[in-house]
A and B are shown apart, each in its own frame.
Chain A
């Protein structure tokens, strides 16, 4: 599966970059993201609970960052395990460019899903991931332009502003999360 999107965010590149490094903003933008924790300067663990109706599954992601080029671009590599729901592996190249007062966030993601995700959700993944992306950016844009609105704002401001570890990690996670939620939604039909 391959996804390529551009999203316009009504904030300066500096604001977007800061938001991408604001764990609380990112957590608040991703439905079901429970834990984000650094395991090294360029790696993370993340836990997302994806819930659709009565079905709930926890996914554990190991995330590593490569090709770091702050504040312009980086590549995120992730491996996610969802137990019986399957796995999702992949990478996303993310770029930020200024466009007037706005910032264009572009990404190019490639993902492989396996297990139930592939077996039951394959044909819904694209559509649902797109919806998840829209939901994510809707929330993220709002918070990037107005960081104080994020839950746990105090904590966020205490975070080191530009540690590489937090650079945009969840931008990958929402993508994978979207894929997972699509799979679970599908599985519910059976």
Chain B
């Protein structure tokens, strides 16, 4: 292993600038002549826009312009798009109502964009926004997932009768029904997957600049994928041609999915800076983030499993209603369909699976990917159902899982729901987790807690995540509008240091360190001589960005491939300089050597030769700078078992997570410290969903959880010190042997936590979030 190479817990290179306050976030950037945008948002969940009077706002001090939806239409800008098609059961594509960036004729959720006010100062823009007079014709609203498609509910879009976006059946219905008919036992569970607000620490922001000399728009954005933003805004929103649109995602303070999407504010800022010929900045305040960021989850589902007499799963049937909000967000359709139903096999050999997903529109903010995106919903449903099944069969939760796991010699394993898992050893992870959690010692701990008046419970969760979505051809077959490869450029400078350009984007993941470790390992260049560059369409080659735990598994491989190309070229250069045959040149630890001799040349010297090719192989291009793209053969399939142990105070309903053990298979770890940080963060995200977080609209469509006083985020005292270990397997299709790790905790944790609480209380089910009130009521009923 190279020093600071693969497997070293190198401290994060990027942290220096963050810790000394030198991070450069979108809102930190200010330019000469900058104006400020404030959006006028609907206070009504569902209303006609009868009249918008902007005259008083236009006359207010400092106001540069006020625009409404008609102005966008006049310039041919928008509407916003959804990039993944799901075919409904009538054979038609999902219903895709028009999604204007500024509302036209009607608003469909609280926070919907009615107008934008642009002024010299933020205060002036805010004051003027209050002067925009809007005559709303208030309509009844529907916010509830289960109600939305029922008869008699308010109709949101003419294009979507009964508010149904799609009804998507998947699997062999008849075979599943037959299996249920002849089953020894059927276990059933109805559950809610609670709606979440993603809550990246940095709220969304945009700064648009237009250069009338070059006709180029530069848009600084809180984005996880600058090229995707550019592509969508150029190809579908008519903002500007790609070569005249530069999108920069500078330092971004957390994404978790919510900054993947192309939002109204971003498009409007990009357009308005050209319209007013002045730079325009917009930064969301926290309540705007609650109102207008895409939300996550929000499913209501019924799950049934059919079993034989030994508790083997024979078939699974899942009926799901998924809330997509008022409009389709950029990938809104994909989350409750392909990213959800294709995960319903979990770690199990269940031979038959049938799923129906009804996706509905409601008068709520659009719903899209949030850390895990569909996979937490699938895993929560499955892992809760498995515990119900264990109870019904009188089996220990660990035992019923063990009986149904896909055995390690069955990989690659083709599930009945499209996915073909490439590698895994679920028993190894389970056994390691059981030991780590001292599962055998639980009864004694429970008895001791009982003596103190506490109820102690333990819960397991065995998850599979399908991340690093690939290959591109499969994405296309599924109705996706993009390819999901990744790109890299590795450039030596003449003086021997290295710039690595990646198409992924780091917004907290530590790529600048992990990718540098990869390069130091492969090229032998000191890590301090390696700079990882990302997030700017003018600096980096086209890339797909960061989401779905794809950056290392896809983008890391692209970097490795570019390094391989450099080594191959370097061998030619070194062979010439060392007067040897190319086939006799070996490369290791940063040096090209002639086999069997002490003749050697460092890669830095080779790079210098390539840029100063005075004595150089005939016909070889100068320069030491290589591009590579990688389109994986398959998804990446991290997996693991998490075990949560709780103590419930039956008098207060308070849940104390006293122990949490996670054993994950992420393949090979490049930086174990960063991976552990991702595991911790993911678990805390999952604990937040399980115990605290719940986005609530009232029946009128008013958002009741629009600040941190009403929306509870996990804090340090909600979580224990985690016990983290690994049970790696080697994914054969991944040249680096790596898997994704960014979402695993958020996927594995919620069912582990709820299973533990259910176990502690001796009840069948409790919907998330398990707030003290809910737990207390359940404890009273159970007593």
A-side residues, CB < 8 A to B, are 83-84, 86-87, 112-116, 118-120, 122-123, 186, 189-190
Stretch at the interface among B284-292, B455-463, B685-693: B284-292
The count of chain B contact residues (Cβ–Cβ below 8 Å) is: 19
CB distance A120 to B44 under 8 Å?
Answer: no
Nearest-Cβ distance from residue B334 to partner chain A, whole angstroms: 29
Asked if A116 meets B702 with Cβ closer than 8 Å, knowing A86-B43, A87-B43, A122-B710, the reply is: no
CB distance A119 to B287 under 8 Å?
Answer: yes
CB distance A114 to B126 under 8 Å?
Answer: no
B431 at interface by CB-CB < 8 Å:
no
The contact of A112 among B291, B700, B710, by CB within 8 Å, is B700
The contact of A120 among B698, B700, B709, by CB within 8 Å, is B709
Closest residue of A by beta carbon distance from B129: A84
The contact of B704 among A84, A112, A122, by CB within 8 Å, is A122
Asked if A190 meets B702 with Cβ closer than 8 Å, knowing A114-B43, A119-B287, the reply is: no
CA distance A123 to B709 in the complex (A): 10
CA distance A16 to B601 in the complex (A): 102
Chain A residues with CB under 8 Å of B96's CB are none
Chain A residues with CB under 8 Å of B287's CB are 116, 119-120, 190
CB distance A119 to B126 under 8 Å?
Answer: no
Asked if A114 meets B706 with Cβ closer than 8 Å, knowing A84-B126, A84-B129, the reply is: no
CB distance A123 to B710 under 8 Å?
Answer: yes
B147 at interface by CB-CB < 8 Å:
no
Asked if A119 meets B290 with Cβ closer than 8 Å, knowing A113-B702, A114-B44, the reply is: yes
B-side residues, CB < 8 A to A, are 43-44, 110, 126, 129-130, 286-287, 290-291, 698, 700, 702-704, 706-707, 709-710
CB distance B707 to A118 under 8 Å?
Answer: no
The contact of B286 among A83, A114, A190, by CB within 8 Å, is A190
Point out which of B129, B291, B709 has the most chain A C-beta atoms below 10 A from its C-beta. B709
Chain A residues with CB under 8 Å of B710's CB are 122-123
CB distance A118 to B130 under 8 Å?
Answer: no
Nearest-Cβ distance from residue B42 to partner chain A, whole angstroms: 9
Closest residue of B by beta carbon distance from A83: B130
CA distance A112 to B141 in the complex (A): 13
CB distance B702 to A119 under 8 Å?
Answer: yes
Closest residue of A by beta carbon distance from B133: A81
CA distance A190 to B706 in the complex (A): 11
CA distance A119 to B126 in the complex (A): 18
Nearest-Cβ distance from residue B451 to partner chain A, whole angstroms: 37
Chain A residues with CB under 8 Å of B706's CB are 118-120
- Known: A112-B702, A120-B709, A190-B287; 15 extra A-B contacts, CB below 8 A, are A83-B130, A84-B126, A84-B129, A114-B43, A114-B700, A118-B698, A119-B110, A119-B291, A119-B702, A119-B706, A122-B698, A122-B702, A123-B709, A189-B709, A190-B707
CB distance A84 to B702 under 8 Å?
Answer: no
Nearest-Cβ distance from residue B254 to partner chain A, whole angstroms: 19
Chain B residues with CB under 8 Å of A189's CB are 709
CA distance A120 to B704 in the complex (A): 7
Closest residue of B by beta carbon distance from A118: B702
CB distance B126 to A118 under 8 Å?
Answer: no
CB distance A114 to B702 under 8 Å?
Answer: yes
Chain A residues with CB under 8 Å of B43's CB are 86-87, 114-115
Chain B residues with CB under 8 Å of A190's CB are 286-287, 707, 709
The contact of B703 among A83, A112, A119, A123, by CB within 8 Å, is A119
CA distance A89 to B33 in the complex (A): 41
| CB-CB nearest 7 A-B residue pairs | A119-B706, A115-B43, A118-B702, A83-B130, A114-B43, A122-B704, A84-B130
CA distance A86 to B45 in the complex (A): 13
CA distance A87 to B45 in the complex (A): 13
CA distance A107 to B287 in the complex (A): 34
Chain A residues with CB under 8 Å of B129's CB are 84
Chain A residues with CB under 8 Å of B709's CB are 120, 123, 186, 189-190
Chain A residues with CB under 8 Å of B707's CB are 119-120, 190
19 cross-chain CB contacts under 8 A:
A84-B126, A84-B129, A84-B130, A87-B43, A112-B702, A114-B44, A114-B110, A114-B700, A116-B287, A118-B702, A118-B703, A119-B291, A119-B704, A120-B706, A122-B702, A122-B704, A190-B286, A190-B287, A190-B707
CA distance A86 to B130 in the complex (A): 10
Point out which of B43, B130, B707, B710 has the most chain A C-beta atoms below 10 A from its C-beta. B43
Nearest-Cβ distance from residue A188 to partner chain B, whole angstroms: 11
Closest residue of B by beta carbon distance from A119: B706
Chain A residues with CB under 8 Å of B704's CB are 118-119, 122-123
Point out which of A113, A114, A122, A190 has the most chain B C-beta atoms below 10 A from its C-beta. A114
Closest residue of A by beta carbon distance from B290: A119
Nearest-Cβ distance from residue B408 to partner chain A, whole angstroms: 51
Closest residue of A by beta carbon distance from B138: A89
CA distance A123 to B110 in the complex (A): 18
Nearest-Cβ distance from residue B769 to partner chain A, whole angstroms: 16
CA distance A119 to B707 in the complex (A): 7
Nearest-Cβ distance from residue A125 to partner chain B, whole angstroms: 11
Chain B residues with CB under 8 Å of A123's CB are 704, 709-710
Chain A residues with CB under 8 Å of B698's CB are 118, 122
CA distance A123 to B704 in the complex (A): 8
Chain B residues with CB under 8 Å of A87's CB are 43
CA distance A119 to B710 in the complex (A): 9
CA distance A116 to B286 in the complex (A): 12
CA distance A11 to B43 in the complex (A): 42
Chain B residues with CB under 8 Å of A115's CB are 43, 110
Nearest-Cβ distance from residue B363 to partner chain A, whole angstroms: 12
Chain B residues with CB under 8 Å of A119's CB are 110, 287, 290-291, 702-704, 706-707
Closest residue of A by beta carbon distance from B41: A115
Chain B residues with CB under 8 Å of A112's CB are 700, 702
Chain A residues with CB under 8 Å of B700's CB are 112, 114
Point out which of A83, A118, A189 has the most chain B C-beta atoms below 10 A from its C-beta. A118
Nearest-Cβ distance from residue B269 to partner chain A, whole angstroms: 20
CA distance A83 to B38 in the complex (A): 14
Nearest-Cβ distance from residue A59 to partner chain B, whole angstroms: 12
CA distance A90 to B103 in the complex (A): 27
CA distance A177 to B44 in the complex (A): 20
Closest residue of B by beta carbon distance from A186: B709
Nearest-Cβ distance from residue B284 to partner chain A, whole angstroms: 13
Closest residue of A by beta carbon distance from B288: A119
Point out which of A86, A113, A186, A190 has the most chain B C-beta atoms below 10 A from its C-beta. A190
CA distance A114 to B698 in the complex (A): 10
Nearest-Cβ distance from residue A178 to partner chain B, whole angstroms: 18
CA distance A113 to B702 in the complex (A): 8
Closest residue of A by beta carbon distance from B699: A112
CA distance A115 to B43 in the complex (A): 4
Nearest-Cβ distance from residue B8 to partner chain A, whole angstroms: 43
CA distance A122 to B110 in the complex (A): 15
CA distance A84 to B291 in the complex (A): 14
CA distance A189 to B286 in the complex (A): 12
CA distance A43 to B709 in the complex (A): 38
